[in-house]
Amino acid sequence: MLPRCKMFPTLEKRRRFDDFGEIIIPERFVRVMEEDLDFNITNETNKSINILTKKRKWGGVSNNVQIRENIDKDIYIPSKIVVNEEKIMIKCSVRYIDMEGLHDGKSLKTIIPMVNPRKLVLIHSNQETRNNMMTIFKALVSFTNDIYSPQQGEILKIGIGLNSYNLKLSDDIINTLRWKKLGDYNVSHVIGKLKLCTSSVPNETDLPTLDVLPMNSNLKNIPQFHPLFVGDVKLAHVKRLLQEQGHVAEFIGEGMLLCDGLVTVKKIVGDKVILEGGISQEFYDVRKIVYDSIVEFL
């Protein structure tokens, strides 16, 4: 009996297959006469006896190896794949499948901080359990404060309210814009004076116009302009960019990314990003990647 894993110096020949099965060698299936068959069997027997009794030369191949190769040739015959369709009777029963999306408290305490939602709504539980979960989530450092636990039948609006207006830009203010790339969009920061339509009969096509501030404007009324950052820093994206540049980055705890064991990046309430670490090349590399994820207006 041959072992499953062949040992050195035996070389295992790779079996070739096509769409119809293993590729055959036509010479192996040539019909021969009985006399020729007996003659071939006798010759093969004599060869095997000679191999067993003949002395092996120095540096030659072992007799056992040659015999094993002869046996392998007889065993490895071509084969093909045959597909049959049969009906199998399965005796089992389904007791209950939970499709309500409910989880135990321990799982929620682990999963929700990893998701880090902007708003959290707790439903489908008694008031005591929901209050307990709210207390735990509010105690987290880098977690949202928008946590709601509505009563049964209470209507709660959780959408993000945005005010969008249409207006026209004057030619003077267009020439002063400095566009910056943010994802698939180009954004720019502008300060100007809004001029409303003075027509007595308002028209839907008459839009207010944003124009540059006049030179004689009162400087006290102009809002103070601080550095403005536009965009959302995603720690998973920062981690991928760091790893592409050869840094070691991994998540540790609640919304915190550790880079090369020296610099940490974490997000807190209000989508604020904090970088902590000593003055080193790793710190500046991480800061550059974070800055590249957003647009800064000075």
Task: Find the Cα–Cα–Cα–Cα dihedral 281, 287, 292, 296, rounded to 10°.
Answer: -130
Cα–Cα distance for residue pair 39/94, rounded to 1 Å: 66
So what's the pLDDT on residue 64? Answer: 53
User: What confidence tens digit (pLDDT) does each residue in 133-164 have?
Assistant: 888 888 887 778 888 888 888 888 776 666 77
For residue 261, the one-letter residue type is G
So what's the pLDDT on residue 246? Answer: 85
So what's the pLDDT on residue 230? Answer: 75
So what's the pLDDT on residue 66? Answer: 54
Kindly report whether the global pTM for this prediction surpasses the value 0.75.
Answer: no
Spatial CA neighbour of 122 closest among 107, 134, 104, 140: 134
So what's the pLDDT on residue 217? Answer: 59
| Distance in angstroms between the alpha carbons of the first and the last residue of the chain | 81
User: What confidence tens digit (pLDDT) does each residue in 13-40 have?
Assistant: 777 777 777 887 777 776 655 445 555 5
So what's the pLDDT on residue 129? Answer: 84
Q: Are 265 and 273 in contact (CB under 8 A)?
A: yes
List all residues 6 or more positions away from 133 whose beta carbon is below 8 Å from its beta carbon: 105, 108, 109, 122, 125
Cα–Cα distance for residue pair 216/242, rounded to 1 Å: 49
Spatial CA neighbour of 67 closest among 39, 37, 44: 44
The CATH number that domain 228-297 falls under is: 3.30.310
So what's the pLDDT on residue 97? Answer: 65
Break the chain into its structural domains and give their ranges.
105-148, 168-216, 228-297
Cα–Cα distance for residue pair 17/78, rounded to 1 Å: 9
Structure tokens at 171: 């030619």
Cα–Cα distance for residue pair 152/276, rounded to 1 Å: 44
Task: Find the Cα–Cα–Cα–Cα dihedral 123, 127, 129, 130, rounded to 10°.
Answer: 50
So what's the pLDDT on residue 45? Answer: 55
Q: What is the residue-level pLDDT of the chain in tens, covering all 298 positions?
A: 455 556 666 677 777 777 777 887 777 776 655 445 555 555 555 555 555 555 555 544 455 555 555 555 555 677 788 889 999 988 888 777 666 666 777 778 888 887 778 788 888 778 888 888 888 888 887 778 888 888 888 888 776 666 777 888 888 888 888 888 777 778 888 888 888 777 666 565 678 888 887 766 565 566 666 677 777 777 888 888 888 888 888 887 666 888 888 888 887 766 678 888 888 888 888 888 888 777 766 5
So what's the pLDDT on residue 243? Answer: 86
